[in-house]
Amino acid sequence: MRSPALLLLAAVCLAAPLSAATPAPAPMTANPLLTESSLPYHLPPFDQIKDEHYAPAFAATMATQLQEVAAIANNPAPATFANTVVALDRTGLLLSRVSALFFNLTGAHTNPALDQIEEAIAPQLAAHTDAILLNSALFARIQGLYAQRDTLGLDPESKWLLERYHQDFVRGGANLGEAGKTRLKALNAEIASTQTTFTQNVQKEKNADALIVATRAELAGLSDSEIASAAAAAQAAGQPGKFALSLLNTSGQPLLSSLQNRAVRTRLMQVSQARGSHGGPHDNRAVVSRLARLRAERAVLLGYDHHAAYQLEDQTAHHVDTVNRLLAQLATPAVANAKREAANMQQLIDRDHGGFQVGAGDWSFYSEKVRQALYAFDETQLKPYFELNHVLLDGVFYAATQLYGITFKERHDLPVYQPDVRVFEVFNADGSPLALFLVDYYARPSKRGGAWMNEYVAQSTLLGTRPVIANHLNIPKPPAGEPTLLTYDEVRTAFHEFGHALHGMFSNVTYPRFSGTNVPRDFVEFPSQVNEMWAVWPAVLKHYARHYQTGAAMPLALLEKMQAAERFNQGHDTTELVAANILDQAWHQLKPAQVPDDVAGFEAAALQRAGVDFAPVPPRYRSTYFSHSFSGDYSAGYYSYFWSEVLDADTVEWFKAHGGLTRANGDRFRATLLSRGGSKDAMQLFRDFTGGEPDIKPLIKRRGLDRPPAALEYDG
């Protein structure tokens, strides 16, 4: 989940000073952000950087980039690829590093000072990007080269770079008149500010809205470790003697699968779904409507029907009809299977004389019971075999070594921004250095929800840089002295995010514009989803799935039960994702005058029209905490996970057909796709690897949507 690598993204309008609330600048000579890091791989000197360094660093590096851009635009020599396009790709290098560092930390380890700076800087960054993309003299040089692109003798990557920059300028408003450009600048600034407000509201509400439970008895079903963590969270929140159930940024919450008390389950789900919509300082309803309206107005100004059309033009799907068709293909069988899954649960509730209809808060709890009844399998049986360090070293890293020959060495001599962060140096099979990899797996109040990859330093042969990549998860940290035992979903997420990391680490491109995961948004999840397959590959699973106390391998019978249950609950899982996608597209396929103020009413109508308004399965994200959609990167693009999964499922079948976990397969995947970044059309990269076109059938089969789920046979 990364924004495009266009280096212009980080710039700022110097005419708009930081707010008075921003910390006072440090002396410029003492600012470690204003010189290239001397650490290995140019790792940021986390131990030297202070909050007050960011504001002057942004100002200074922005000024430098504007000077660099002005020199290109006003160059009296005729435009050439070298003095215009390559020169532009070289601009703002320190600014890019400052921006990457700052925004990585506001996601991974923020504080009130950084939040203040982010609020001030976001509209200024947007304004500066406009100052470059709307520079008429610069665009004229690029436009002239673009018209001659077939006669310049450029190699394929260089020609693609010219074409991509030309598209960036056109999509950035370079062809607008002066009045249009003025309005576009105002829209971009307000969109950036509003996205920041949304993001910070989600973060603050997540921390503020833990469910407080009065007694330990109400937490029946939770482990001693989970109860201890809840007690500690309540103590930290100023409610000693009580228990605080913290929230993840999804509608469903992991603890719902274990809580035996239905009243507590119901309350937890209600609190989760109400985030950002119940009044108070973090209410996001007006923010959602305003942001949707601003995005729609910008799209119309640029000549598009709506924001979704604007976004999709630059993606591999290209058209809203393609996305709508994909979601419709999944919605009908997903909801049908979810209803059958609900019927299985209702049988258990009725058998126990529960006297209620299965609700959203009951789903996780009763689905586990159904899983046990159908497969004699309880997912909690897996956790003792998924100890964090074994999963990372003997699973995630081991699979990468077997597939690509790379090795890992932990570094304890390099600074980090938080004590739980670990640093590994990564080496190629021949022993040559490849990258630095930062691991940040534990949840904390200063960290946003979810899981993601980012880069601190991008690979580029033009600049001579190797990548510095980070993975972030939100695994609850156990009390001191206790092991970190993962759910299978957390294990799969670790493999998924490492797939993104490999995409960044294996990058072997000339231009920083194309480095690593700087590919279309609906392609970026594809390699990471492919990497999930190794989590359950027999040779890999056998290597890391060992009991944390005895070291015994996971029993074969348990493994077989887990594999048999792989398609279990896919009606629910697919429906909640389709529903979230429907909301994302519904908001962003509106013209400005169509955007409503009634967020809840709009959601209900959109879900009903799409046939996914099944109350026991709410959308994975409601609009008011849908960060993918309203924080920026994935607006009108949440479908990317499904789109990428189509490519992923096809690719997994290719791996299986060609021998699976072999160096030959890994080297092919690295050479034809992972190393190419955005230096070539994304779908052509897919074809280069698989040799064919994508097919949705493997995805339908994988999710079990090609057949009804197993029925629970109960005589009553």
Amino acid at 658: H
Cα dihedral sign for 370, 371, 377, 383?
A: negative
Question: Helices in 209-319 by DSSP H: which ranges?
Answer: 224-236, 262-274, 285-301, 307-313
The amino acid at 141: R
> Taking a C-beta distance cutoff of 8 angstroms, is the pair 143, 166 a contact?
yes
- Point out the residues that are catalytic: 497
Q: Which of 579, 594, 698, 600 is nearest to 649 (CA)?
A: 698
DSSP-based three-state secondary structure for 468: strand
CA 562, 566, 569, 574 dihedral sign is positive
Nearest of 434, 439, 437, 408 to residue 422 by alpha carbon: 439
Provide the β-strand partners of residue 409. 425
Distance CA 76, CA 70 (A): 12
Contact between residue 122 and residue 99 where contact means Cβ atoms under 8 Å apart: no
Contact between 209 and 449 under an 8 Å Cβ cutoff? The reply is: no
Residue 211 φ then ψ, to 5° = -80, 125
Indicate left, alpha or beta for 431 from its phi (over 0: left) and psi (-120 to 50: alpha).
left
Between β-strands 468-475 and 433-442, what pairing exists: parallel, antiparallel or unpaired? parallel
The residue among 29, 51, 55, 32 whose CA lies nearest residue 42 is 32
Q: Which residue has the tokens 């959203």?
A: 360
What whole-number distance in Å separates Cα of residue 537 and Cα of residue 547?
18
**Token digits of residue 223:** 């482990």
